[in-house]
Amino acid sequence: MNQTATTTLYERLGRRDGITRITADLMKNHLANPLVNARYMNSENLEQIERRVVEFFCAGTGGPESYSGKDMVATHKGMNINEQEFMTVIDDAMDALKKNNIDDATCNEVLAVLWSMRREVLRV
């Protein structure tokens, strides 16, 4: 039987510990990426952002954690994120997943989830 059919996305991402490692690499990627790093460097509380991203992915991928942050529209309202920035963030996420040895099928599933949120993030 296919692993994708028998385990949750949360489990395939390594549960909370795996998602925490992936998120740390994602944040490093964003900070090193000249197309989006200004949005993160100017943040007053990167640790809180990172915690919220971990919560969001844990809760949204089938884990037992709760997400305590704002919804995606409220989080991104007024940021006027453009298509290039959105795609750059997705590329950074895919790189973080690959660095953490996440298989292609699981990466594609995460990609689909991220892509599905574009209307809640772009130009709001």
- Give the amino acid at 38: A
Contact in structure between 36 and 30 (CB atoms under 8 Å): yes
The answer as to whether 3 is a domain residue is no
The answer as to whether 9 is a domain residue is no
The answer, as to whether pTM is greater than 0.85, is yes
CATH of the domain at 110: 1.10.490.10
Q: Which residues contact 90 (CB under 8 A, 6 or more apart)?
A: 111, 114, 115
Q: What is the mean pLDDT of residues 96-116?
A: 97
Q: Would you state the pLDDT for residue 41? A: 84
The answer as to whether 36 is a domain residue is yes
Q: For 50-70, write each residue's pLDDT tens digit.
A: 999 999 999 999 999 999 999
The answer as to whether 76 is a domain residue is yes
Tally helices (H) and strands (E) across the chain.
Answer: 9, 0
Report the percent of the chain where pLDDT is more than 90. 90
Q: What is the domain range of residue 66?
A: 14-121
Number of domains in the chain: 1
**HEC sequence for 52-96:** HHHHHHHHHCCCCCCCCCCCHHHHHCCCCECHHHHHHHHHHHHHH
Q: What is the mean pLDDT of residues 93-111?
A: 98
Helix/strand/coil for 40:
helix
